Structure 1
Amino acid sequence: MRRAFVLTARVFFIALMLASATGKLLNMPGFYDIVRNYHMVPEPLLIPSAWALTLFELALGLTLVSAAWRRVVWCLVPLHLFYLAGLSQALLRGLHLSNCGCFGVYWARPLTPYSIVEDLVLLSLAVLFYRLSRSPMNHGQTA
């Protein structure tokens, strides 16, 4: 059961990271605007921050495909904590965003309290994936 969960979570997070990065890479200027709408990053750092986040998602997704995936699975936890903090602060500040930016400009989804619930679920899955992938029962096996 544990092995099945780890394999399923790995495939899920690979798809999520690669889809998210691809959606952003297809229109980076549009993603710059989404990042700008959160009012979290000073203007001079906006473009480098958007690129850093997008390339990090891409690298994480690609590394999860590789044999080195166990070394980076922990990165999903702080990444989803970061997303949760960004979404939460925007809602708490009363920002009305027509696109949360999770997948760039092409799959626009408004920022709502449900976005927080979604990210809490993703964070929980990331924590469970990390914990179960680190267990002794899985070492030496490839999932």
Structure 2
Amino acid sequence: MIGPLTASKKLELGLRYFIASVLLLTGIGKLLDVPGFIQVIDTYKIIPTFLQPAVAVSMVLVELKIAENLFRKINLKINALAATALHICFTLLATLTLLRGIDVPNCGCFGVFWARPLTFITVAEDVFMVGVCVLLLKILQIKEGQV
């Protein structure tokens, strides 16, 4: 029988590794073709052209840093919160873009690789990631209260 603390630790580890793996894969996908990712950003029609390179590089660095910190167990609450905020931003951006009627042939989740159109399925995936991140954050808050 698994005790509640052991189960909680395993769930925390699983969530941490899942979120970190997703961010690592998405960050690497974008990093492998930054110019292509800049073109993807342009299709959202929200970031001025002169800012797109900085936004692209910043997004890659943020995703990779959060992934690294989650894998290495560094500042877990801060990084779980950062991952939550990042996925909330992705959810809002995707939703607003769809509501504006803008056709985005590649959502850009993985840069130019694994190109998929932006749809409400993308929004659902982002909402799922927000939920996973919030769950990790809650587990970490509960754990902090027990220490």
TM-score by structure 2 length?
0.89
Q: Among 39, 47, 59, which residue is 2:45 paired with?
A: 39
**Deviations, residues 39-66 of structure 1 (Å, cap 9, x unaligned):** 1111111110111111100111111111
State the match for 1:52 in structure 2.
58
**Post-superposition CA distance 1:58-104 (Å, at most 9, x none):** 11111111131414221111101100011011100111111100000
Pick which of 52-61 and 71-80 moved more: 71-80
Residue 22 of structure 1 aligns with which residue? 28
Q: Is the 1:35–1:50 contact (alpha carbons within 8 Å) kept by the matching residues of 2?
A: yes
How far 1:8 sits from its partner (Å)?
Answer: 0.7
Q: Match of 1:135, SS?
A: helix
Q: Residue 127 of structure 1 aligns with which residue? A: 134
Between the aligned partners of 1:90 and 1:130, the Cα distance in structure 2 is: 28
Look at both structures and tell me which one has the larger radius of gyration over its CA atoms.
2
Query: Following the alignment from structure 1 to structure 2, what is the Cα–Cα distance between the partners of residues 15 and 107?
Result: 16
Structure 2 gap segments, 5+ residues each: 1-6
2:115 matched residue in structure 1: 108
Could you say which structure has the higher helix fraction? 2
Which residue is 2:69 aligned to? Answer: 63
Q: Does structure 1 conserve the Cα–Cα contact (< 8 Å) formed by 2:80 and 2:134? A: no
Q: What amino acid is aligned across from residue 52 of structure 2 in structure 1?
A: L
Alpha-carbon distance in structure 1 between the residues aligned to 2:131 and 2:119: 19
Q: What CA distance in whole angstroms lies between the structure 2 residues aligned with 1:134 and 1:11?
A: 18
TM-score, with length taken from structure 1: 0.91
Classify 1:55/1:110 alpha carbon distance in 2 versus 1 (closer, same or farther; 3 Å): same
The 2-side partners of 1:139 and 1:57 are apart by 30
Cα distance, 1:4 vs structure 2: 2.0
Moved over 4 A (4+): 137-140
SS in 2 for 1:102: coil
Report how many residues are paired.
Answer: 140
Structure 1 gaps, min length 5 = none
RMSD between aligned residues: 1.6
